[in-house]
A and B are shown apart, each in its own frame.
Chain A
Amino acid sequence: MTVNPLALTTGYGVGVSSGYRNNGVSNSIPAGDISGMLLGGISSTGTVGAVGGQPVGQVARTADGSTFADLLTGSIGRLQGLQSTADGYAKQAATGDLQDVHDYMIAASEAKLATTAVVTLKNKAVEAFNDIMRMPV
């Protein structure tokens, strides 16, 4: 599968490599949707030309119909879950109920890694949005 360099610069590399595919179905979205602007520039078909072929104001969706905003919201929700697991272990450590020290450490490093991943994706998305906003019209 060819990786679209444009897709990677918008921080969508994870989605591309984990099998999300643009099925070519475009749905109309309200004007001004950031994810729409982002996804409008993302295509996993490997050709930048396909992006130009998309009508203005429409957004590419993944095979299951979700947008980049859905993916980001979902990953932030899962991140919240990991962090509350680590928080639960922290509480157990404070109250002396912690059975395994390594469980806490593993949960904490999982939460840290996931936070870094989500923040990296978010930074790339914001960076891409700023690039678009700076574009001379």
Chain B
Amino acid sequence: MSAFDALRIAGSGMTLHRKFLDAVSDNVANINTAAAPDQEAFKERFIVAQANDYGSGTGGVRVAGAAFGSGEGKLVYSPDNPLADDEGYVRLPDIDLGTQMTNMLIAQRGYQANISAISRATDAYQAALSLGKNL
């Protein structure tokens, strides 16, 4: 516990949303990553958020870990691909770009919301300090 808890709590939220954004970027970057049909496709990444209990802990949120989607993917007919099997199929990740863009918006807005919390907290602390200056 310190005088600047609001800053640290919002900072933990920013870290979480930064990692969320990283995971979404990774998913989008690998959306066309093909694999041979006998191998696993790229697995969609998820960030697991866990709350730090404010009453007994420090407050804020932490990244409990990363979770992975299915490696099954989808078989796509692409005979020109060097990874294609005899029948001309490759395995592509089953990631929906629309879902990823929505997640990206959520991550971005969450990051911005935490920035707002920090700037309001800073304003409030500065207002409290101006009390001491004008006495």
Contact = CB atoms under 8 A, between A and B. Distances in A.
Contacts of B14: 100, 102
Given A100-B18, A121-B132, A106 B118 contact: yes
Contact of B15 (A13, A103, A121): A103
A11 B125 CA distance: 17
B8 interface: yes
A117 B129 contact: yes
A120 B8 CA distance: 23
A80 B8 CA distance: 18
Interface residues of A, number: 17
Interface in A104-137: 106, 109-110, 113-114, 116-117, 120-121, 124
A84 interface: no
A9 B15 CA distance: 41
A100 B14 CA distance: 9
Given A106-B8, A106-B11, A120 B132 contact: yes
Interface residues of B, number: 19
Contacts of B133: 120
Contacts of A90: none
Nearest to B118: A106
A117 B132 CA distance: 8
Interface in A1-30: 8-9, 11, 13
A13 B4 contact: no
Interface in B1-54: 3-4, 7-8, 10-11, 14-15, 18
Interface of A: 8-9, 11, 13, 100, 102-103, 106, 109-110, 113-114, 116-117, 120-121, 124
12 contacts: A100-B18, A102-B18, A103-B15, A106-B10, A106-B11, A106-B118, A109-B122, A110-B7, A113-B122, A113-B129, A120-B132, A124-B132
Given A13-B135, A102-B18, 15 more contacts: A9-B135, A13-B131, A100-B11, A100-B14, A100-B18, A102-B14, A102-B115, A102-B118, A106-B11, A110-B4, A114-B3, A116-B126, A117-B132, A121-B132, A124-B132
